[in-house]
């Protein structure tokens, strides 16, 4: 499962998440644009929302390195 989120501190979040291999960031000019981007990925592509706090300047996607599989 892929994750998507928003933050103002992408380097810090990347480090906290264990430096995912497929880490990708996107820069936004407005909060509205950023939140719409997350909503589309969550709704249409089944990404999990992993936003980090109230920031929105950077969008990020990654695949968690350790996924929990429900029994």
| Structural domains counted in the chain | 1
Is 67 within the bounds of a domain?
no
- Other C-beta atoms closer than 10 Å to the C-beta of 58 total 19
Judge whether 19 lies within some domain: yes
| Angle at CA of residue 40, ends 26 and 55, nearest 5° | 45
Q: Which of 55, 46, 71, 54 is nearest to 63 (CA)?
A: 46
Question: In this model, does residue 29 exceed pLDDT 80?
Answer: yes
Whether residue 68 is contained in a domain is answered as no
Residue 70 resides in a domain: no
In total, the chain counts a number of residues equal to: 71
Any domain includes 71: no
> Global pTM?
0.88
* pLDDT computed for residue 34 by the predictor: 98
Q: Is residue 55 part of a domain?
A: yes
The predicted pLDDT at position 54 comes to 84
pLDDT at 52 over 90: no
The CA distance from 37 to 59, in Å, is 8
Domain that holds residue 35: 3-62
């Amino acid at each position: 499962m892929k994750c998507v989120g928003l933050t103002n501190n992408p380097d810090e979040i990347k480090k906290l998440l264990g430096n995912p291999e497929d880490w990708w960031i996107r820069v936004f000019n407005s909060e509205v644009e950023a939140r719409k981007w997350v909503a589309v990925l969550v709704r249409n592509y089944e990404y999990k929302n992993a936003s980090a706090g109230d920031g929105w300047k950077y969008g990020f996607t990654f695949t968690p390195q350790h996924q929990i599989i429900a029994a």
